[in-house]
């Protein structure tokens, strides 16, 4: 099938950053009418759409390490302008890095001004937003989201234990992925004694081209079966990472693993409903206090209402005490406050929970006899027995 050439794009009034004085004659043709600025490699640090509409770099004007650092800076920029690299000696590593950018092209000398015009044209044509990549028919994980009704209700603890229980049922290495979507201050990595490896700047820069192989650069292996996707603390993280990057990352995770467990932030983000809409199960974790139960009911109702799919989150009661008397509501009282049945309950065992986070790792590893482990096992048995609802993270 042949493709029609892209329509000619006018550069009149557009800002073009040119790196290399030898390229200045281009301002006559094909950059006629453009505002051409001559700059150095340092201009590539943090460059964005507000700085230039197009960047043209003469590879022959700069030494190899300088070029490599400049291109690296571009790949780390949040939304770099399109880049055209021209030259006679184009180092492979530099070219490979450059091609990770969403809009980039390379012209090896000798080239004519027509070649340059065609390359610029190809780069400047407005791209339609990427079509959602359907995962139907391909591999798709079963995806469960875990969200706390109130802070500290045990969402991270249960997400880790659920992921660990699922690992115990898998024969294949790297079959389960736990993703900590509390981007600003998630604690899953700390609880597991692991080092977070998801660099959010790199994720943002690579989002449009993120594939299953690239995803592995962001992953921390926890065991042979469990991988973790988590970022280091960053108070600005939620504002810095665009929705598309989160959805793409989740989509790739769902293509890679058999099971994906999400530790969800309690407060809604721009991507929360998309993410929840792609999950097979949504678990709302509540503790047995009246405010937590009321919050669990509200959170669950809000999710159900706003997703509009008829899917209901399931409520899991955590830190259920053995004694049936005292100030805490009983299981039955809790269900009355929730106005629905809870999906399951997880016993309280502070010693086991504290020991495991202090040692770094799941409760199932450090305190395998804890009631928490048995209760999570029953919960996972019940949930896993239900048919998968659909496919996770349909990127919108
Ligand atoms: N069943 C349990 N029994 C005893 N302690 C528990 C239990 N579940 C969780 N904990 C403890 O409760 C505390 C809060 O748990 P966790 O961090 O998992 O909650 P969270 O909902 O993820 O909190 P945040 O709102 O900060 O994300 C931790 O110290 C954890 O070890
Ligand atoms: Mg948490």
**Domain presence at residue 1:** no
376 lines ligand 1 (CB under 6 A): no
- The token duo for 51 is 């700085």
**Domain presence at residue 392:** no
Q: Report the C-alpha gap between 291 and 289 in whole angstroms.
A: 6
Does pLDDT of 132 surpass 80?
no
Closest Cα partner for 318 from 86, 94, 161? Answer: 161
**Domain presence at residue 56:** yes
Domain tally, the chain:
2
**Domain presence at residue 170:** yes
Whether 172 and 112 map to the same domain: the answer is: no
**Domain presence at residue 297:** yes
**Domain presence at residue 72:** yes
CA 257 to chain centre: 14
Considering every ligand atom shown, identify the ligand nearest to the alpha carbon of residue 379 and give its number.
Answer: 1
27 lines ligand 1 (CB under 6 A): no
Considering every ligand atom shown, identify the ligand nearest to the alpha carbon of residue 356 and give its number.
Answer: 1
Q: How many CB atoms lie within 10 A of CB 277?
A: 19
Computed over its alpha carbons, how large is the radius of gyration of the chain? Answer: 26
Considering every ligand atom shown, identify the ligand nearest to the alpha carbon of residue 160 and give its number.
Answer: 1
- CA-proximal residue: ligand 1, atom 14 (nearest): 152
153 lines ligand 1 (CB under 6 A): yes
319 lines ligand 1 (CB under 6 A): yes
pLDDT digits (tens, 9 = 90+) for 85-121: 999 878 877 887 888 788 888 888 888 888 888 888 8
Residues with CB under 5 A from ligand 2 (ion): 155-156
Question: How close is the Cα of 396 to the center of ligand 2, in Å?
Answer: 26
Q: Which CATH number belongs to the domain containing residue 41 in this structure?
A: 3.40.50.2300
pLDDT digits (tens, 9 = 90+) for 34-82: 899 999 999 998 888 888 999 999 999 998 888 888 888 888 777 789 9
Q: Which domain holds residue 119?
A: 15-124
372 lines ligand 1 (CB under 6 A): yes
Whether 351 and 243 map to the same domain: the answer is: yes
Global pTM reads 0.69
Q: What is the pLDDT of residue 329?
A: 79
- CA-proximal residue: ligand 1, atom 15 (nearest): 154
Q: What is the pLDDT of residue 108?
A: 87
Q: What is the DSSP string of 343-394?
A: SEEEE--HHHHHHHHHHSS-HHHH-TTSHHHHHHHHHHHHHHHSPP-S-S--
């Amino acid at each position: 099938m042949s493709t029609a050439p892209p329509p000619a794009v006018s550069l009149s009034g557009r800002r073009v950053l040119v790196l290399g004085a030898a390229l200045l004659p281009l301002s006559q043709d094909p950059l006629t009418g453009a505002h051409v600025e001559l700059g150095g490699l340092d201009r590539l640090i943090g460059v964005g759409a507000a700085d230039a509409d197009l960047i043209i770099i003469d590879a022959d004007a700069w030494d190899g390490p300088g070029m490599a650092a400049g291109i690296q800076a571009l790949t780390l920029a949040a939304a770099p302008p399109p880049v055209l690299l021209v030259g006679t000696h184009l180092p492979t590593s530099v070219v490979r890095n450059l091609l990770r950018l969403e809009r980039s092209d390379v012209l090896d000398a000798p080239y004519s001004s027509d070649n340059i015009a065609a390359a610029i044209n190809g780069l400047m044509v407005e791209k339609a937003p990427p079509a959602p990549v359907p995962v139907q028919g391909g591999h798709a994980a079963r995806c469960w989201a875990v969200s706390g009704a109130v802070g500290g209700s045990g969402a991270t603890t249960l997400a880790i234990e659920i992921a660990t229980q699922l690992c115990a049922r898998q024969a294949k290495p790297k079959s389960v992925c736990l993703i900590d979507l509390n981007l600003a201050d998630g604690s899953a990595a700390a609880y597991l004694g692991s080092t977070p490896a998801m660099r959010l700047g790199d994720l943002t820069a690579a989002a449009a081209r993120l594939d299953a192989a690239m995803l592995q650069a962001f992953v921390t292996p926890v065991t042979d079966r469990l991988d973790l996707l988590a970022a280091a603390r960053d108070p600005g993280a939620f504002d810095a990472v665009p929705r598309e990057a989160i959805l793409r990352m989740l989509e790739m995770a769902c293509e890679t693993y058999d099971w994906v467990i999400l530790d969800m932030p309690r407060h809604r983000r721009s991507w929360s409903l998309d993410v929840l809409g792609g999950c097979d199960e949504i678990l709302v974790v509540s503790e047995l206090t009246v405010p937590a139960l009321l919050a669990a009911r509200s959170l669950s109702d809000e999710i159900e209402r706003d997703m509009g799919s008829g899917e209901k989150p399931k409520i899991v009661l955590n830190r259920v005490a053995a004694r049936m008397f005292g100030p805490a509501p009983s299981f039955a009282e809790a269900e009355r406050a929730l106005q629905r049945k809870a999906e399951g309950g997880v016993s309280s065992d502070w010693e086991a929970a504290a020991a495991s986070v202090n040692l770094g790792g799941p409760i199932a590893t450090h305190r395998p006899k804890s009631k928490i482990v048995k209760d999570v096992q029953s919960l996972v048995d019940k949930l896993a027995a239900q048919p998968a609802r659909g496919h996770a993270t349909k990127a919108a």
